[in-house]
Amino acid sequence: MPLVPNVLAPILERHRRDGTRLMQILRETQEAIGWLPPEAITGIAKGIGWPRAKVEGVAGFYSFFHTRPMGRYRVLWSDNITDRMLGNRELMQAMCQRLWLEPGRVSEDGLVSVDTTSCTGMCDQGPAVLVNYRAITRMNTERVNQMADLIRSEAPVAEWPAEWFRVDDNIRRADILLDNALRPGDALKAALAREAETESAANARSWREGVHTDMHGPSAVLDEIKKSNLRGRGGAGFTTGIKWEACRHAPGDERYVVCNADEGEPGTFKDRVLLTRQADLVFEGMTVAAYTIGARRGYLYLRGEYRYLLDPLNEVLARRRDMNLLGAKILGRPGFEFDIEVHLGAGAYVCGEESALIESLEGKRGVPRSRPPYPVTNGFLGKPTVVNNVETFAAAALVAAKGGDWYRGIGTAKSAGTKLLSISGDAARPGIYEYPFGVTVQQVLNDAGAANVQAVQISGPSGVCVADNEFGRRIAFEDIPTAGAFMAFDHSRDMFEVARNFAQFFAHESCGFCTPCRVGTTLLKNLMNKIGDGHGTQVDINEIFNLARLLQMASHCGLGHTAPHPLLDTLEKFRPAYERRLKSLDFEPAFDLDGALAQARQMTGRDDSAAHLEKQS
Ligand SMILES: Cc1cc2nc3c(=O)[nH]c(=O)nc-3n(C[C@H](O)[C@H](O)[C@H](O)COP(=O)(O)O)c2cc1C
Ligand code: SF4
C-alpha cells in the first residue's frame, strides 16, 4: 500500500514524531485512509519510536479507531435512553432495511456500516447520529430516507444538507455564567493588574465595569478562588482552590493545566454549549489557573463526538494569541507564558476520569491510574497538573474578574455560584438551564415544561434516580450534587428499561482493566436482559445486589463503583417494574435438593429437611 508512507510522512512531521501525540496521529491517519491498516500501525510505531504492540494496543482501545476496514460511510446512532425515547431504534432499523444491511456489519461492497454508540451529547435535539464522526441532530424518517439515498449515490458527507449538521444551543435560562458581560482578557487583566497597585488604588478601581480588581498576583488570585468556595463541576465537587494550591506548591519544574471536556456522561451536554458560547471564558479560566499555579502549557481534552467544535475552538485560540492573551509575555507580563492545545478523544467514556484522561493525553490507552499519587503532584508526564471541568474553569474566570466574595454570595451555604443543567427526556423545553445552587427539582421541571413526571435521573447513570415524592429536594452539594445531567421520565416510561439501558452503557464502557468491573458490568447487563426477556426470578434480583456490592468494593475506578447505582435506585424506588417481569417471585429450582437428600436422611436418622426445620421454628 504505497498510500500509507505518503499519508504518514506529513502527519508524523506535523506532530514532531512525538509519542504523546499518538491519538492525534492515529486520528489523522484514519481520516486520510478510512481505517488503520497494519502497515500504518507499523509506520507510526517506527515513526514515533514506540513498540508496534503498544501502538496497536492504543488503536484497539478506542471505539473510534478501526484496525479493520470500515464502511466508507460509518453511521453511528446515539443510543442513550433519551434517544430511545425519541425512536432511535426504529429509525436505525428503517435505515438498515433501506440500505439492505444488518446493524453492526459493513456492507459487502464496503460502502456503509450502521451501528450504535453511547450518548453523543445531543439529548436535547435527538435522535442523533454520527456520520463519519460528524454529528447530525433531529433524525426522522424523512432524513433516514434521504440519507440512505445520499449514501447509495456516494455523495460526499460535506455536500449533505447543512441544516442536518446544525447543533442548537437551546439556552433556556442564563445566569451569571451564560449571561456575563466580560470581554476576552477582562478576567486576566483583573488577575494581573493589581500586583503593582496599592491597596487603596485597587479599591478605588474595584467593581469598575463590573470587574473586581482587589488582587495581588498569583497568590491573590488563589485567595479569591479559595474565598469563592468554588467546587468542581465535573462530578466529585472537589474544592478548586485547594486543588490549585496543592498543584502550585507541588515540587517540580513544569506544571500543566488540563480542561476536561470529555463530557461522556449520558444526558450531559452543558460543556458542549459552554464551548460553543463561552469558549473565551473557559480558555480565560485555564489561563488564570496557569498564572496561579505557574504552568506554561495547557490542554483541552475534547470528546471525539464534539469533533465539529475542533476548528472553531482553534480559531478562538488563534484569536487569543493575536490578542496577546496566550503565548509569551501575556498582556506584557514578563515570564507569564502559556499556551493551550485542543486534544481530541476517540470515543471512550472512561477517559473522563481524570487519570485515564491524562493517560490518553500522553498517547496511551485510557486506563485509570492507581491513586494516590493524584494529578496535582503526578499528572501529565508525571508533573503537577490541575484537571478541571469546563464549567469549573469558566466559573474560575468569573471569580478572577469579580472576586470570591461576590461569587460566594450566590447559591447556598455549601454550594457557591450557579450550576448548568442539561435537561432532556420528557420535557417540552429541553436544553440548558443555569440556576443558582439550591433550586428544587420541581422548580426545574416546571420551568422545562415537564409534567406528569415519575422520576428524574440526575447526574447521569452514575448519579441518582429521584422519584416524584422527592421533587422538593434541591440541586446542591449538600443535597443532590450533579455534574449536570437531568433526564425526566413521565409516567408512560418503564423505569426498568431506563435501568437496562444504563446497565448496557456501563458494560459497553468498562475499560476492562480490572476483573470486578469487566465481568461485573457484563453480568449486570445479562441479568437485566434475562429479567427483561421474562426469564428472571428473585434469585436474579438477589444476584444484582451481590454484584453491586462486589463492584462498589473491588473496582479500580469510579466507573465500576457507580455502575450499579441506576439498578439499585430503581430496585428501591420502582420495584414493581422489575417484579412484573419475573417468572415467579419465589425461586423455582429445576433440581429438588431437599427431595434428593430425603433418602440419605432416612438412612442416617437425621431429619433436617426444610419442612421439619420450618415446623421447629
Ligand atoms: C468514569 C468517570 C468519568 C468522568 N467523566 C468526566 C467528564 O466527562 N468530565 C469531567 O469534568 N469530569 C469527569 N469525571 C470526573 C473527573 O475524574 C474529575 O473529577 C474532574 O474532571 C475534576 O474536575 P472538577 O474538579 O472541575 O470537577 C469522571 C469521573 C469518572 C470516574
Ligand atoms: S473499574 Fe472499570 S473502567 Fe475502571 S479501571 Fe476497572 S475496568 Fe476500567
Per DSSP, the three-state class of 480 is: strand
**CB-ligand 1 contact for 242 (6 Å cutoff):** no
Cell 489561563 belongs to which residue?
Answer: 287
Per DSSP, the three-state class of 316 is: helix
Residue 514 CA to ligand 2 center (angstroms) comes to 5
Where are any strands of DSSP class E within 513-615? Answer: none
> Which of 265, 510, 522, 523 has most ligand 2 atoms within 8 Å of CB, for mutation?
510
Determine the average pLDDT of the residues in 293-320. 98
Residue 511 CA to ligand 2 center (angstroms) comes to 5
Interval 378-429: pLDDT, tens: 999 999 999 999 999 999 999 999 999 999 999 999 999 999 999 999 999 9
**Cα distance between residue 172 and residue 200, in whole Å:** 41
Please identify, by atom number, the ligand 2 atom nearest to the C-alpha of residue 521.
2
Other CB atoms within 10 Å distance of the CB of residue 369: 18
Report pTM: 0.92
Residue 557 CA to ligand 2 center (angstroms) comes to 5
Give the distance, in angstroms, between the CA of residue 499 and the centroid of all CA atoms in the same chain: 18
**Cα distance between residue 195 and residue 309, in whole Å:** 36
Beta-bridged to residue 77, according to DSSP, are 116, 129
Residue 505 CA to ligand 2 center (angstroms) comes to 13
Q: Which of 128, 123, 119, 118 is nearest to 508 (CA)?
A: 118
Per DSSP, the three-state class of 253 is: coil
Residue 518 CA to ligand 2 center (angstroms) comes to 7
Residue 422 CA to ligand 1 center (angstroms) comes to 16
**CB-ligand 1 contact for 389 (6 Å cutoff):** yes
Concatenate the DSSP letters of all residues of 413-444 into one string: SSSBSEEEEEEEES-SS-EEEEEETT-BHHHH
Per DSSP, the three-state class of 228 is: helix
Please identify, by atom number, the ligand 1 atom nearest to the C-alpha of residue 261.
9
Supply 524's cell numbers: 449486570
**Cα distance between residue 377 and residue 369, in whole Å:** 13
**CB-ligand 1 contact for 264 (6 Å cutoff):** yes
Please identify, by atom number, the ligand 1 atom nearest to the C-alpha of residue 352.
5
Residue 333 above 90 pLDDT?
A: yes
Interval 228-254: pLDDT, tens: 999 999 999 999 999 999 999 999 999
* Predicted local distance difference test score (pLDDT) of residue 124: 97
Cell 442548537 belongs to which residue?
Answer: 168
Residue 112 above 50 pLDDT?
A: yes
Residue 262 CA to ligand 1 center (angstroms) comes to 8
What is the torsional sign of CA 347, 352, 356, 361? positive
**CB-ligand 1 contact for 232 (6 Å cutoff):** yes
Beta-bridged to residue 131, according to DSSP, are 75, 134
Residue 596 above 80 pLDDT?
A: no
Interval 159-211: pLDDT, tens: 999 999 999 999 999 999 999 999 999 999 999 975 544 343 444 444 334 34
Contact 291, 332 (CB under 8 A): no
**Cα distance between residue 288 and residue 292, in whole Å:** 6
* Share of residues in the chain with pLDDT > 70 (%): 91
418-425 vs 485-490, strand pairing mode: parallel
Nearest-CA residue for atom 2 of ligand 1? 353
Determine the average pLDDT of the residues in 343-360. 97
**CB-ligand 1 contact for 354 (6 Å cutoff):** yes
Supply 357's cell numbers: 484522561
Nearest-CA residue for atom 4 of ligand 2? 557
Residue 217 above 90 pLDDT?
A: no
Please identify, by atom number, the ligand 2 atom nearest to the C-alpha of residue 513.
7
Residue 517 CA to ligand 2 center (angstroms) comes to 6
Nearest-CA residue for atom 1 of ligand 1? 559
Residue 615 above 70 pLDDT?
A: no
- Longest alpha-carbon distance in the chain: 100
Concatenate the DSSP letters of all residues of 26-62 into one string: HHHHHHHHSS--HHHHHHHHHHHT--HHHHHHHHHHS
Interval 474-520: pLDDT, tens: 999 999 999 999 999 999 999 999 999 999 999 999 999 999 999 99
> To the nearest whole number, what is the mean pLDDT of the chain?
92
Supply 347's cell numbers: 470515543
Supply 29's cell numbers: 491517519
**CB-ligand 1 contact for 392 (6 Å cutoff):** yes
Nearest-CA residue for atom 8 of ligand 2? 511
Contact 112, 148 (CB under 8 A): no
**CB-ligand 1 contact for 224 (6 Å cutoff):** no
Supply 96's cell numbers: 438498515
Give the distance, in angstroms, between the CA of residue 269 and the centroid of all CA atoms in the same chain: 9
**Cα distance between residue 50 and residue 42, in whole Å:** 10
Nearest-CA residue for atom 10 of ligand 1? 234
Contact 386, 257 (CB under 8 A): yes
* Closest ligand to the CA of 390: 1
Nearest-CA residue for atom 31 of ligand 1? 558
Residue 105 CA to ligand 1 center (angstroms) comes to 33
* Predicted local distance difference test score (pLDDT) of residue 584: 65
- CB hemisphere CA count around 284 (13 angstroms): 27
Residue 611 above 60 pLDDT?
A: no
Please identify, by atom number, the ligand 1 atom nearest to the C-alpha of residue 303.
8
Residue 524 CA to ligand 2 center (angstroms) comes to 15
* Predicted local distance difference test score (pLDDT) of residue 268: 98
Supply 77's cell numbers: 446512532
Give the distance, in angstroms, between the CA of residue 158 and the centroid of all CA atoms in the same chain: 27
Interval 297-307: pLDDT, tens: 999 999 999 99
Determine the average pLDDT of the residues in 571-590. 81
Radius of gyration of the CA atoms of the chain, in A: 27
Residue 78 CA to ligand 2 center (angstroms) comes to 22
Interval 526-541: pLDDT, tens: 999 999 999 999 999 9
**CB-ligand 1 contact for 267 (6 Å cutoff):** no
Beta-carbon contacts of 199 under 8 Å, excluding residues fewer than 6 positions away, are 214
Q: Which of 555, 548, 537, 447 is nearest to 499 (CA)?
A: 548
Residue 274 above 60 pLDDT?
A: yes
* Predicted local distance difference test score (pLDDT) of residue 215: 39
**Cα distance between residue 147 and residue 74, in whole Å:** 12
Q: Give the type of residue at 508.
A: H
**CB-ligand 1 contact for 290 (6 Å cutoff):** no
Phi-psi group of 45: left, alpha or beta (phi > 0 → left; psi -120 to 50 → alpha; rest → beta):
alpha
Residue 561 CA to ligand 1 center (angstroms) comes to 14
Counting every residue written for the chain, the total comes to 617
**Cα distance between residue 164 and residue 130, in whole Å:** 11
> Which of 359, 511, 561 has most ligand 2 atoms within 8 Å of CB, for mutation?
511
Q: Which of 394, 391, 405 is nearest to 212 (CA)?
A: 405
H/E stretch holding 257 reads strand 256-261
* Predicted local distance difference test score (pLDDT) of residue 589: 53
* Predicted local distance difference test score (pLDDT) of residue 209: 40
Give residue ranges with CB within 6 A of ligand 2: 350, 368, 510-514, 517-518, 555-557, 559-560
Cell 468491573 belongs to which residue?
Answer: 517
**CB-ligand 1 contact for 501 (6 Å cutoff):** no
Q: Give the type of residue at 470.
A: E
C-alpha dist (Å) from residue 73 to 110, 148, 417, 420, 546: 9, 10, 44, 35, 43
Determine the average pLDDT of the residues in 298-324. 98
